[in-house]
């Protein structure tokens, strides 16, 4: 069957989120770039909550969800609702405010290499183009795509916030393929994660392209990986149109 569709991951594939642009935050002995300081300041306006207590509640919510999620997505507003419950801050509007604050910072970070729009245009001459992304707030993902000039170039968009399940679960890939109207065997998935993108897509019957532009040590990452191997490895998305043009059948 001829190649009919190309699916893309969003972050660190189509769009980059440079974490060094976030403000510094210290949690115990650890220092990191994070939105935690701004989130704590918003909570502290409503209740006298110390930063360490807020950070501990956030970690606990994330840990508890990770241990029980089985691939389900935790929407951002629900994440912050659980944090507020743990902190005993009964403010019904606060989870929405925290979500807007956090996602505003994420949206402000987003950088899109200028040639990516042209890559999608080149592929669209021969195939349908879709997005298959893990992200906990679909409106922010869509706003980032719109700002980058990419949303109108996509024929299908499947985001875990809306699907309810995250890669590598097969359901999110199947949701994207259903929107495109193509079978897995007619499609390729492009992404930066060996587990979520390569492993998840391969398990669904798609062929895969691993993008290493944001991978610190691709050789070491591939050596550690125990799942499916990518069909192709590229450093930059510009390599994909000529690469796939040489593969008339999947």
Reported as a single tens digit per residue, the pLDDT across 188-212 is 999 999 999 999 999 999 999 999 9
pLDDT of 1 strictly over 70: no
Q: What share of the chain has pLDDT > 90, as a percent?
A: 85
> In whole numbers, what is the pLDDT of the chain averaged over residues?
92
Give the H or E element holding residue 109.
Answer: helix 94-109
User: What is the per-residue DSSP string for 125-167?
Assistant: TTSEEEEEE--S-HHHHHHHHHHTT-GGG-SEEEEHHHHSB-T
Cβ neighbours of residue 73 closer than 8 Å, sequence gap 6 or more: 134, 136, 160, 161, 163, 164, 165, 166
Task: Give the global pTM.
Answer: 0.92
Given a contact cutoff of 8 angstroms between Cβ atoms, the answer to whether 184 and 173 are in contact is yes
Reported as a single tens digit per residue, the pLDDT across 225-241 is 999 999 999 999 999 99
Nearest to 10 by CA among 172, 159, 153: 159
- Domains in the chain, CATH or no CATH each: 5-17+112-245 (3.40.50.1000), 19-109 (no CATH)
Reported as a single tens digit per residue, the pLDDT across 137-169 is 999 999 999 999 999 999 999 999 999 999 999
Given a contact cutoff of 8 angstroms between Cβ atoms, the answer to whether 212 and 204 are in contact is no
């Amino acid at each position: 069957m001829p190649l009919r569709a190309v699916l893309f991951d969003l972050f660190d594939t189509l769009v980059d989120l440079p974490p060094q642009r976030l403000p510094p935050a210290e949690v115990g002995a650890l220092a990191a770039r994070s939105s935690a300081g701004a989130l704590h300041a918003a909570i502290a306006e409503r209740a006298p909550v110390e930063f360490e207590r807020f950070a501990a509640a956030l970690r606990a919510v994330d840990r508890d969800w990770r241990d029980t999620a089985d691939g389900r997505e935790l929407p951002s507003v629900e994440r912050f609702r659980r944090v507020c419950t743990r902190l005993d801050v009964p403010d019904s509007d606060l989870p929405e405010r925290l979500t807007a604050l956090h996602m505003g910072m994420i949206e402000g970070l987003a950088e899109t290499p200028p040639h990516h729009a042209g890559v999608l245009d080149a592929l669209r001459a021969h195939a349908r183009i879709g997005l298959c992304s893990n992200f906990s707030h679909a409106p922010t993902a869509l706003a980032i795509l719109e700002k980058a000039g990419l949303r109108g170039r996509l024929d299908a968009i499947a985001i875990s916030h809306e699907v309810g399940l995250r890669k590598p679960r097969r359901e999110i890939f199947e949701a994207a393929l259903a929107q495109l109207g193509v079978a897995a065997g007619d499609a390729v998935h492009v992404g930066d994660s060996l587990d979520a993108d390569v492993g998840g897509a391969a398990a669904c019957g798609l062929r895969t392209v691993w993008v290493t532009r944001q991978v610190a040590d691709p050789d070491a990452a591939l050596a550690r990986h125990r799942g499916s191997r990518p069909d192709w490895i590229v450093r930059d998305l510009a390599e994909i149109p000529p690469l796939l043009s040489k593969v008339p059948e999947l």
